[in-house]
Amino acid sequence: MQKTCPVDVICVCSADGDIRPLRLRMEDEAHQLLRIDIDEVVNSRKIQYVGIEAQIFLCRATVRNRPWLFELKYTIRSHSWCLLRRVY
């Protein structure tokens, strides 16, 4: 898996504007689509880097019967999601 890769995300937006990712879809090393249901959002934080506002989500999921802990980044201006890294 690349260090940072764009992913498709299904999320829910609350009435007060909070975003919570629910599911993501990415391509694995064998170029197969992998659907990951997010079990828990451990925490989230807003960042601003070189004028770019983003939100980082630390998520927990089970992928191929193995636990994953990973970070997703949502870039506010471009409305894009990327998988930052997998935390081991």
Nearest to 71, CA basis, from 47, 79, 50: 47
Range of the domain at 10: 5-87
**Tens of pLDDT, residue by residue, the chain (88 residues):** 555 789 999 999 999 989 999 999 998 888 899 999 999 999 999 999 888 999 999 999 999 999 999 999 999 999 999 999 998 7
Supply the pTM of this predicted model. 0.90
How many domains does the structure of the chain reveal?
Answer: 1
User: Are residues 72 and 84 in contact, defined by beta-carbon separation less than 8 angstroms?
Assistant: yes
